[in-house]
Amino acid sequence: MRAMLLDSPAPVASAPLRLTELADPVPAPGEIVLEVTACGVCRTDLQLAEGDLAARRLPIVPGHQATRHVRAIGEGVTGWATGDRAGVAWLAGACGLCRSCLAGRENLCEAATFTGWDRDGGYATRIAVRAEFAHRLPAAFPDLAAAPLLCGGVIGYRSLHVSGIQPGGRLGLFGFGASALCAIQVALHWGCEVFVCTRSEREQRSARELGAIWAGGYGDRPPAALDAAITFAPSGDVVIAALKSLARGGTVAINAIHLDRIPRFDYEDLWWERSLRSVANFTREDAREFLALAAAIPVRTKVEAFPLAEANSALSRLAAGEISGAAVLVTD
């Protein structure tokens, strides 16, 4: 199979991923192998490629938003058949036995494994995945449109819940990439008033077109105190800007696996029972709920397609803020 392999982290300008031929994966017991036609490009992939997120295994095939159909089935697998449409997401496995797993919080499992970090991911023409951690894709979404739902969409959905936003509440989105594009559609479906802060004037216009009642820059204060906010930019400065925009009792949910720092801020900004919470991964139940909701709304994704061999270019443009919506690698 063809794959983009990361041997060693390096600046994306140096093209750290190389196109190579690898042996086709053979499904182990409990696994299925998918034929991949589309794989979303995530900021987490960028952080792994550049070393901001420490590698757990090298070399590694990145990517954790892969879609297509089942090619092969391992021993003991039930519920999947060859040709079934399936997707692969960030959570690749959990122990199922620890306190977190038994409490329905497998995203916090200390033995959890992750696609494109612990095991080879979707920047390839085939991928092996634990069958119980593969996701059925709604028929409403073609492969290209479904790929961004499997990470940005699901993590945005979990972020909405972590933020505590209620239907009809005032929600702030700080950053407006692929995840926020999905989150705003869910929030508007719930009847929320949405305020967007992003440095890109293009993204500000897009937010207004989608239904945000206000959009401005990170240095601008939304015109109303927010019940909840979600930050998508990997910047502590943005987190504090969101915190300063909260009403009393509000929560900032930080949607980032890596953050540069949290700068010093006045206690007055946290006073009145405001909260800061991180969002760590998501559960399979989150994915099932979101994919069903996304099909019902329906959530529309905006993608820019790149050939698999141009993964370095896709990451470079993501780093430069030049992607409108989500970058998706295609293998056809």
Q: Which pTM was predicted?
A: 0.94
Peptide bond into 59 cis (omega under 30): yes
Domains of the chain from N-terminus onward: 2-141+301-330 (3.90.180.10), 153-278 (3.40.50.720)
pLDDT digits (tens, 9 = 90+) for 47-78: 999 999 999 999 999 999 999 999 999 999 99
Angle between helices 178-189 and 201-210 in degrees, nearest 10: 20
Task: Annotate 63-105 with DSSP letters as a single string.
Answer: ---EEEEEEEE-TT--S--TT-EEEE-SEEE--S-SHHHHTT-
pLDDT for residue 85 is more than 90: yes
Instruction: Fill in the DSSP letter of residue 148.
Output: G
pLDDT for residue 332 is more than 80: no
pLDDT digits (tens, 9 = 90+) for 283-310: 999 999 999 999 999 999 999 999 999 9
pLDDT digits (tens, 9 = 90+) for 142-197: 999 999 999 999 999 999 999 999 999 999 999 998 899 999 999 999 999 999 99
| 4 closest CA partner among 96, 107, 120 | 120
